[in-house]
């Protein structure tokens, strides 16, 4: 984190100016982009009342989705609590859909490191392809960046071949500069994706944070040649918001980042909204 390559003062005025330019590029009626939005989704259920029946019902809907809505792409992944990974693996028939889960004391990251490592290892053992962990924000706020990075690296090791997404909880970081620092820290520590939010605190994802994270990914890629993905999550419930995030990614990182391998959207309510925007049915679709 002392590398001067990454030093940049993030001006909120500059960010807002760039976002203004990006918003002018968005075509709100772009059906092809709406379809791509579906293909970027991590369809998510992370609720206190989740149980095996709720999770399996969601997966069955994923299994049937393309037969009921021909011409629509499949979602990229499903995201659940780690104790439901086996239920997902046993129920999911479309093997192109990735199995993601949260670990590491989600959503607060406030537990023993040993617990975080065991939880991550168990989740992958049960079949998780991707692991979403939370940055230790309290430790980050004390500027103990080394401890934060070491924890990410250890969880990455525990995840083995599974991809690691690091949630920054950008909405409660003190500034856009801190969003940048957290982004670089996570990538240097081994994150395959950086993610805005757990969806459990407000504010969650914001265009400002997503722009700064994209800018950090670009600088990191220019230095290392390694492509890191981005996942906005939390409060993404409507098609225009999702399209704005896709437009930010395209503007900062280019079209090559607009693939499920490098761009995801954490979503529990978004899928229905996008389906309605594409199909414009007389009766509202409430499939997911």
All domains in the chain, ordered by first residue: 7-279 (3.20.20.70)
132, 178, 192, 215: the active-site residue: 132
pLDDT at residue number 4: 52
Q: For the range 3-8, what are the long-range contacts, defined as Cβ-Cβ under 8 Å and sequence gap of 24 or more?
A: 5/219, 5/223, 6/180, 6/184, 6/216, 6/219, 6/220, 6/223, 8/180, 8/215, 8/219
36, 116, 165, 231: the active-site residue: 231
36, 165, 195, 250: the active-site residue: 195
Distance CA 196, CA 173 (A): 11
pLDDT at residue number 149: 97
pLDDT at residue number 8: 86
Active site residue 132: yes
pLDDT at residue number 1: 54
User: Mind listing the pLDDT tens digit of every residue in the chain (288 residues)?
Assistant: 545 556 788 999 999 999 999 999 999 999 999 999 999 999 999 999 999 999 999 999 999 999 999 999 999 999 999 999 999 999 999 999 999 999 999 999 999 999 999 999 999 999 999 999 999 999 999 999 999 999 999 999 999 999 999 999 999 999 999 999 999 999 999 999 999 999 999 999 999 999 999 999 999 999 999 999 999 999 999 999 999 999 999 999 999 999 999 999 998 899 999 999 999 999 999 999
């Amino acid at each position: 984190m002392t590398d001067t390559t990454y030093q940049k003062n993030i001006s909120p005025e500059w960010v807002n100016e760039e976002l203004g330019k990006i918003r002018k590029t968005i075509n709100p009626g772009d059906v092809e982009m709406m379809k791509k939005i579906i293909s970027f989704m991590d369809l998510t259920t992370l609720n206190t009342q989740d149980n095996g029946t709720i999770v399996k019902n969601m997966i069955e809907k994923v299994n049937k989705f393309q037969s009921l809505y021909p011409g629509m792409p499949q979602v990229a992944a499903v995201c659940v609590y780690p104790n439901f990974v086996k239920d997902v693996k046993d129920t999911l028939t479309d093997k192109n859909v990735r199995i993601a889960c949260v670990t590491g004391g989600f959503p607060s990251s406030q537990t023993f490191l040993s617990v975080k490592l065991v939880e991550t290892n168990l989740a992958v053992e049960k079949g998780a392809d991707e692991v979403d962990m939370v940055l230790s924000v309290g430790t980050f706020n004390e500027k103990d960046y080394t401890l934060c990075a070491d924890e990410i690296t250890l969880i990455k090791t525990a995840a083995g071949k599974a991809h690691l997404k690091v949630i920054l909880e950008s909405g409660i970081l003190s500034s856009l500069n801190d969003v940048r620092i957290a982004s670089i820290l996570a990538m240097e520590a081994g994150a395959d994706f950086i993610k805005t939010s757990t969806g459990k605190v407000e504010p969650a994802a914001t265009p400002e944070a997503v722009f700064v994270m994209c800018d950090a990914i670009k600088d990191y890629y220019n230095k290392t040649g390694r492509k890191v993905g981005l996942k906005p999550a939390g409060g993404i419930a409507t098609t225009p918001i999702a399209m704005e995030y896709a437009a930010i990614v395209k503007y900062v990182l280019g079209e090559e980042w607009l693939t499920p391998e490098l761009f995801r959207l954490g979503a529990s309510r978004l899928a229905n909204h996008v389906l309605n925007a594409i199909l414009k049915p007389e009766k509202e679709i409430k499939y997911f």
